[in-house]
Amino acid sequence: MRVFITIFASLSFSMGPTEIVLATETDSLMDAYYKQKVALKKEADAVLKSLQSGDWSIIIDHLEKVNRRYPKGLERTDKSTPRGQNFDTMDTEWRAWSESFRNPKGKKSKGKTPDWIKQVLDNDCSKYLAQKTKNKSNVAEIFVMDRLGGTSCTIEPTSDFDQGDEAKFQIPRSTRKVHQGELKKDKSSNSVSIQVSYPIVEKGQFVGAVTIGLTLD
């Protein structure tokens, strides 16, 4: 019994400082993590400001054109699109193409790109995004979503077409506030990055959202 008590007492005293050290290290790591998130948020804000200070009307005009194709009052629950398909069908086709876009070594595939996907990748809005971010090496991705969450324009193919079921779209849409994700490995950019998403409001109406993905230096 004395041996057990001695061992228990020894463990109790030795665990105290260990727990304090671990807690201190954890607090330090968390503090560094959140400081990094704040810094990346500021960088994303700067990218957005750069877009807005340029020909922001290119994005607005494009969204108005895309959103006009949706029947008035159409919501995501209707799941229909101007192409006569639903979001699930388009998303499945986009995902399959996106997977074949790069081979296992990361090189682009020579597979044929469907015409409707070409229209997303090559429109004036996508070209504008590419132009404004071409000298920003830590911008891994930037894409604009229409009012129902469909990918409307982008500098690089996203992993899926339908963003409407994700927080990056839902929070800006429902709250009109910025949504910042967590650091993670992103399939689209193939890097550790963080996404910051902003609502796009025109004349008091939500018309879409823009997501800016930044990589760690």
List CB contacts of 128: < 8 A, sequence separation 6 or more.
51, 54, 55, 58, 59, 153
Which amino acid is residue 108, in one-letter code? K
Write down the pLDDT at residue 84: 45
Tell me the mean pLDDT per 10 residues along the chain, length 217.
36 45 64 85 95 96 90 58 64 87 55 87 96 92 94 92 92 96 73 90 95 88
User: So what's the pLDDT on residue 13?
Assistant: 38
pTM of the model as a whole: 0.79
pLDDT score of 12: 39
Is residue 186 within 8 Å of 180, Cβ to Cβ? no
Q: What is the pLDDT of residue 2?
A: 39
Q: Where are the domains of the chain?
A: 2-215
Answer whether 155's CB lies under 8 Å from 141's CB: yes
Ramachandran class of 75: left when φ > 0, alpha when ψ lies in -120 to 50, beta otherwise:
beta
Pick the CATH number of 2-215 from 3.30.450.90, 3.40.190.10, 3.40.50.620, 3.30.450.20: 3.30.450.20
The confidence score (pLDDT) of residue 68 equals 85
**Distances in Å between the alpha carbon of 92 and those of 14, 81, 88, 159?**
56, 14, 6, 11
- Check residue 69 and give its pLDDT: 80
C-alpha separations of 121 from 76, 77, 151, 153, 202 in Å: 23, 26, 10, 6, 23
Which SS3 state, helix, strand or coil, does residue 84 take?
coil
Which pLDDT belongs to residue 4? 36
